[in-house]
Amino acid sequence: MTDDASEALGIPSKRSLRPLGGVLAAMAVSLTGTRISVVALPWFVLVTTGSATQTGLVAFCEMTPYVVVKAFTGPLVDRIGPRAVSWTTDLASATAAAAVPLLHALDLLSFPLLLVLVALIGAARGPGDLAKEVMVPEAAERGRVPLERATGLSGVIERLASTVGLAIGGSLVALLGPLTALAVNAGCFALGSVIIKLALPRGMGHTAEEAPSAAGKTEPGYWRRFGEGFTFLRGEPLLLTVIVMVGITNLLDAAITSVLVPVWARESGYGPAAIGLMGSVMGAAGVGGSLIAAMVAHRLRRRMVVLTGFLLAGAPRFLILAFDAPLGVVLAVFAVSGFGAGFVNPVLGAVLVERVPRRMLGRVNALGDSLAWAGIPLGGLIAGAAVTAVGLVPVLLTCGAVYFLTTHLAGLRPEWREIDRTRRRGVLKPHSKEDASQDSANAAI
């Protein structure tokens, strides 16, 4: 039987890298579009309103629906299948993103309407990002790729998208204006939808197999699935500690990305091109870090890798902006931060996937991501209000100190010792007899 025939029947071939390549390609184009909007949207609001508070409000209105919708989409992804969720939500994101420059050209884009459109984009992006994340372990399994290597490659894609997207975004905003960049963002989402819909094998990304119910007759409903995910997560102290820590660092990352860097670029006179350049340098270094992590992270002590990565990725970015350093020094610090950040996600992603049963991956991943991202909507909002109240430098110094304390105090907790005991050479860790049986069946195939 050929590989294509096997995929059409939903049977993994002996070794096929096509599924992993398809998922990573879709992630690449959609994330590139998102990074373009990271430059274009805040700059559009900042130059048209002159208000850091309103700039933070736009970020809040995009990320709040992202987090909330993503939290409740997990059971649907497990039931409907990540492939269908991914291509439909990417198409919805493309439609909402294209409406921004179109309505502005027609002189119909008011600020409240802009808030509604970015909220729609966020609501669609959450399930779309989740669905692609859920397909990575399946794609890795089909290609016989170690789990840490697959999550490392997805980290490479994220960093590469940051490099390319932020560079394109900064260049487009500087040369053609922010609305042109937002139109390109819409095109990227549309392309991601096409890739998922047409390029992946037909047996890829369908509904996860559910464990039989006690009665053996009925399939669990939405709220029961949601409750199972919540109960499982509540019983995992390591995952909860990671989620709380990442939630705080994500809030600080959102603050620096959506408000602090744009305000710094305007006050320093470097402009939007510097925003794209800083993001590109950090992203390029992150690609290098992620590539190294993909190759060697499974041989290193995970705890030390994560804590060192956070040490490099966090506080230095805030501090260098606070000290009014030359642009060359700023770029060097952002490069070091990006390199450190490249090691973090591959390890944390592998830990999550290893500790969660495959049939529950969608709902647990959705809950975990949503809790970890819960601070992101507040990051821009709080930063905008704080800069307006006390100025840029005090906010930068405070954020840097909080970032350092959060990551290193969390790393001292006793459950962090388990992070080095979770690895099973890239194989999912069974948590029940049904999961162990399913792992055996997959190995036999």
pLDDT by residue (tens digit) across 21-73? 778 888 888 888 888 887 888 888 888 877 777 887 887 888 788 877 877 77
Average pLDDT of span 249-261: 87
Average pLDDT of span 209-215: 45
pLDDT of residue 396: 92
Q: Report whether pLDDT(420) > 50.
A: yes
Q: Report whether pLDDT(203) > 50.
A: yes
pLDDT of residue 394: 92
Give the chain's domains with CATH numbers: 15-207+226-434 (1.20.1250.20)
Least confident of 232-241, 295-304, 308-317: 295-304
Average pLDDT of span 169-187: 85
Average pLDDT of span 96-107: 87
Q: Report whether pLDDT(418) > 60.
A: yes
Least confident of 122-131, 178-187, 232-241: 232-241
Least confident of 52-61, 83-92, 95-104, 153-162: 153-162
pLDDT band at residue 268 using 50, 70 and 90 as cut-offs: confident
Contacts of 102 (CB under 8 A, 6+ apart): none
Q: Report whether pLDDT(211) > 50.
A: no
pLDDT of residue 435: 35
pLDDT band at residue 395 using 50, 70 and 90 as cut-offs: very high
pLDDT of residue 397: 92
Tokens of 437: 């049986």
What is the rounded distance in angstroms from the CA atom of residue 377 to the CA atom of residue 254?
8
Whole-number mean pLDDT of the chain? Answer: 75
What is the reported pTM?
Answer: 0.59
pLDDT band at residue 175 using 50, 70 and 90 as cut-offs: confident
pLDDT of residue 317: 92
pLDDT of residue 147: 65
R_g over Cα of the chain: 21
